[in-house]
Amino acid sequence: MHGMLIHQSVENRSFHTSQVMVSYCFTVVCTKVVFDMLKIGTIACLCVAITVPLMAMRSLDAKTAAIGTHIRRSIAADFMRWGQSTVELSLRDFFRGHGRLLATRVRFVSPHHWVAARTPATAWDQGLFILMLAAGAEHRAADAQLLRRYLPQLMWYWRVAHGVGGFNAEPGHGPLDRYYDDNEWITWGLLRGYRATHDSVFLKAAESDFQFVLSGRSRQLGGGIFWHEQDKNYKNTCANAPAVIDALQLFQITHRRRYRRIALAIYRWINTHLQAPDHLFYDGERINHTINKMEWSYNTGAMLTANCLLYRATHRRTYLIRAQSIAHSARLKWISTATGGVHDGGPFAWVLLNGFLHLYRADNQARWLRMVIKAMLYVHGRCRDQDGLYGNRWDRAVRSDSPRSLLDQAAAGGAFFQAANAINVYLRRHN
What residue spans define the domains of the chain?
A: 72-429
Nearest to 183 by CA among 272, 91, 245: 245
Mean pLDDT, the chain, whole residue set:
86
pLDDT in tens, 233-286: 999 999 999 999 999 999 999 999 999 999 999 999 999 999 999 999 999 999
> Can you spell out the DSSP letters for 337-399?
TTT--EEEEHHHHHHHHHHHHHHHHHH--HHHHHHHHHHHHHHHHHSB-TTS-B-SEESSPPP
Q: Predicted confidence band at 297 (pLDDT cuts at 50, 70, 90)?
A: very high
Q: How far apart are CA 131 and CA 179, in angstroms?
A: 18
**Beta-sheet strands, E only, within 175-278:** 234-236
- CA 52, CA 12: separation in Å to the nearest integer? 10
Q: Quick one: pLDDT at residue 9?
A: 37
Q: Is the pLDDT of residue 347 over 50?
A: yes
Integer Cα distance of 116 and 93 in angstroms: 7
Has residue 63 got a pLDDT over 60? Answer: no
Band of residue 400 on the pLDDT scale cut at 50, 70, 90: confident
| Residue pLDDT, tens place only, 145-191 | 899 998 988 999 999 999 999 999 999 989 999 999 999 999 999 99
- Radius of gyration for the alpha carbons in the chain, expressed in angstroms and rounded: 23
> How many Å apart are CA 124 and CA 313, to the nearest integer?
28
**What pTM was estimated for this model as a whole?**
0.84
Q: For 322-336, how does the pLDDT look when each residue is reduced to its tens digit (9 = 90+)?
A: 999 999 999 999 999
**CATH, domain 72-429, list 1.50.10.20, 3.40.50.300, 3.30.70.120, 2.40.30.170:** 1.50.10.20
Is residue 388 a contact partner of residue 85, using CB atoms and an 8 Å limit?
A: yes
What confidence tens digit (pLDDT) does each residue in 198-221 have? 999 999 999 999 999 999 999 999
What is the side-by-side order of every strand in the sheet holding 291-295?
234-236, 282-286, 291-295
Q: Looking at residues 21-28, what average pLDDT do you find? A: 39
Element (H, E) at 283: strand 282-286
pLDDT band for position 118 (cuts 50, 70, 90): confident
